[in-house]
Structure 1
Amino acid sequence: MRKPTTENPDKRDAYHHGDLRRTLLEAARNEISANGAQSLSLASLARRAGVAQSAPYRHFADRDELLAGVATHEFEAFTEALLAAAAAGPEAGAVKRICAAYLCFGEENVQLYRLMFASGLVAGAPKESELLKAALASFRPLLDRVSDTSPRRARAAANAIWAQLHGFVMLKADGLLTEPSEELLEGLMI
C-alpha cells in the first residue's frame, strides 16, 4: 500500500482533475464576464484550474472551441431565461416579458452577451454544431409568441423586435443609452 505524500498533496489531484472540461468552461465564463473574451487564454485557464498547460487541449482543440463551448452554454441559459419569462404569466403579456428578460440578461452579462452576439462565433459555426443549434433555439421563444397571419410575417416581426432589443443592450453596454430598461421596453415597437 502506498503512503500518501505530504509534500504537495494537491499536485497529483490537480493533474487528475475530476471534471476538467466543466471546470475550464466555468473558469472561462468567469474570465470573460470580468474582462471580456479577448483576455482569455488556455494557458491562463490551465493555471487557474491547477493543471498542466497541455491539459485543456484534451477537451478543446483551441481557444475558439473553448469560446464556442462557453457561448453554447450561455445561449442555453439565455433560452431558459426567455422561456421562464414567457411562462411567468398570461400568454397575452409573454412577448413583453420575454423582452424584459432579454434586456436583463444582456445587461447582467455584457461580456458574455458580446461573446454570443458580437464575436462572429455563431456566424462561423458549422451547420450541425451545438453552438448554432443553441443560438437558433434562443430565438424560438420570441418567434413562437409573435402572432401574425403568415410565418414569414411573424419572422419579420420577431426579427424587428430582436433588432431593437439587441440595439438597446449594445447601446447600454457602450454607455450610449442610460435609460432604465423599463423605459426602453415602453418604447419597443411591438
Structure 2
Amino acid sequence: MKQNADAKPPGPRKTYHHGDLRKVLLDAARAEIAAHGAQGLSMASLARRAGVAQSASYRHFTDREDLLAAVATDGFERFTEVLLEAASDGDDVTALKRMAVAYLVFGEKNVELYRLMFASGLVPGAASDSALKHAATASFQPLLDRVRASDPAASYLSAHVKWGQLHGLVMLKADGFIHGPVEALMDAVFF
C-alpha cells in the first residue's frame, strides 16, 4: 500500500503514560510521607502529586494500605542495607556500635518513614508470607547477628533489648524529648 506523501503525521497522544507508574507513585508517596506523615496520604492526593488520574494508582495498589505496605517494605529494605553497610565498614570489634549509630541516623533522617515502618501497625497486621513481613524480619537479622557475634552467649532477647534502646532513642528524639545528637548517648546507654 502506497503512503500519501501529503499525509500529516499523527498528532500528540491525548493520554499520558508513565514509563514506570508504580515507581512514580512510590516516590510520590515517600515524598508525601516525609513532608506530612502517612496519616494524611490518600490515593487521590497521591495521584495528583504523580500527575495521573486517581484510577491509575489502583492499577498498582489495591488500596491505601497496600500502598503504605509497599512504602514500608521499601523502607525496611533500605534500612537493612544501611545496617549491613555500617557493620561491614570497619573492624568487627566496633561493628555493633557502627550499626547502632547507622540505625539512629536512619531514624532521624527518615522520621515519618520510620514511624510508618515501626509505629503504624502495618507489620503486626501483615500476612506472615507478605513482602512486608519478610522485609521487616530481615531488618532485625543484622542486629541479631552482630549482638551474637559480640557475645556468643547473647540471646534473641538480648538483641531485642538493644533494639528497644535504639528504637526508644529514635522516637524520643523524633518527639522532641531529646535535643542534640542521639549518637552522643550511645556510650552511656547502649554499651
TM-score after normalising by structure 1: 0.91
Is there any run of 5+ residues in structure 2 with no aligned partner, and where?
A: 1-7
Alignment of 1:103-122 (within 5 A): 103-122=104-123
Determine if the alignment matches structure 1 residue 123 to structure 2 residue 124: yes
Deviations 1:40-66 (A, max 9, x none): 011111112221111111111100000
Query: Offset of 1:77 from its aligned partner?
Result: 0.3
In the alignment of these two chains, the number of paired residues is 182
The answer for the alignment partner of 2:3 in structure 1 is none
Q: Distance in 1 between matches of 2:25 and 2:9?
A: 31
Amino acid in structure 2 at the alignment position of 1:113: Y
Deviation at 1:186, TM superposition (A): 1.4
Query: Cα offset for 1:188?
Result: 2.6
Aligned to 1:158: 159
What is the SS of the residue equivalent to 1:67? helix
SS of the aligned residue for 1:128 comes to coil
State the one-letter code of the partner of 1:30.
A
In the alignment, the residues of structure 1 paired with residue 55 and residue 94 of structure 2 have an alpha-carbon distance, to the nearest angstrom, of: 50
1:3 is aligned to 2:10: yes
Greater Cα radius of gyration, structure 1 or 2: 2
Amino acid at match of 1:33: A
TM-score, length-normalised on structure 2?
0.91
1:82 aligned residue: 83
Within a 5 Å distance, the mapping from 1:1-190 to structure 2 comes to 2-5=9-12, 12-13=15-16, 16-147=17-148, 148-150=151-153, 153-190=154-191
Letter of the 2:41 counterpart: L
Query: Offset at 1:125?
Result: 0.4
Q: Is the 8 A contact 2:88 2:95 kept in 1?
A: yes
8 Å contact 1:161–1:188 — kept in the other structure?
no
d(CA) in 2 for partners of 1:92, 1:4: 65
More displaced, 48-57 or 103-112? Answer: 48-57
Superposition RMSD in Å: 1.4
Cα drift, residue 131 of structure 1: 0.3
Q: In percent, how many aligned pairs have the same letter?
A: 60
Contact 2:104 2:183 in 1 (8 A): no
Cα deviation, 1:68-88, whole Å, max 9, x if unaligned, reads: 000000000000000000000
Query: After TM superposition, what 4+ stretches of structure 1 lie above 6 angstroms from structure 2?
Result: none
Change (3 A) 1:189 1:47: closer
